[in-house]
Amino acid sequence: MKMRKTALSERMYKLLADHITEIEREKEPILKSLFSDNAQTAMQSEAFFREYINRLEKFLKNAEVKKDGADSCPFSIIGSVVQIKDLEDSEIINCRIVLPYAGKSSAGLFDASCLSPMGQALLLNAPGSIVTVSTPAGQVKYEIVSISVDDLDIGESDLSYYINKLKAVLAE
């Protein structure tokens, strides 16, 4: 049975392809700087980025560019703004999924690192999906209401602390 390809607009296909390239470029300094002291965390983070990129590449392999293709992102990605609804109290939260140690996003947005329980639960899920986030207070269920990539911003990781720490170690 032949799998049906997802039709994407040229803009959305290019945005996702460029996103893969950007994540590939950004992950190395993050892994080397932030997780150099903890080999297990570094391996888990490396596996996370590898799986994330593999899933995006597989999606693009099974997509085709069409004039009338979808011009919205079919799932949340690093940098997207995800509107979620807490299924317990119906609170609506606007959340941007960012790289670890990224600076703060625009006012009114909650930043979730892609490596945090919230970020990992939201990533690569479509609007309408129900996700469960493990918190110290227990499991919280959210519904993904909408996803926007119009203002895509993966967040710039602030590695200055780690770079200065490395310089201090090298100077000793």
DSSP 83-152: EEEETTT--EEEEEEE-TTBPP-STT-EEEETTSHHHHHHTT--TT-EEEEEETTEEEEEEEEEEE-TT-
When pLDDT is cut at 50, 70 and 90, the band that residue 159 belongs to is: very low
**94-149 pLDDT tens trace:** 999 998 877 666 667 888 999 999 999 999 999 999 999 998 889 999 999 999 98
Q: Does the pLDDT value for residue 167 go beyond 60?
A: no
The sign of the CA dihedral 150, 117, 35, 124 is: negative
**Gap between the terminal Cα atoms of the chain:** 63
Dist CA 51 CA 29 (whole Å): 18
Please give the mean pLDDT across all residues of the chain: 84
Of all residues in the chain, what percent carry a pLDDT higher than 70?
81
Cα 129 to Cα 46: distance, rounded to the nearest angstrom: 26
Q: Is the predicted pLDDT of residue 169 greater than 70, yes or no? A: no
Sequence spans of domains, the chain? 6-157
What gap in Å lies between CA 100 and CA 121, rounded to an integer? 15
* Single pTM value for the model: 0.83
Give me the architecture of the 6-157 domain, per CATH: Roll (3.10)
Distance, CA of 106 to CA of 39 (rounded, Å): 33
**For residue range 24-42, what is the model confidence (pLDDT) as tens digits?**
988 888 777 766 677 777 7
Q: How many CB atoms lie within 10 A of CB 80?
A: 24
Residues 6+ apart with CB under 8 A from 33: 157, 159, 162, 163, 166
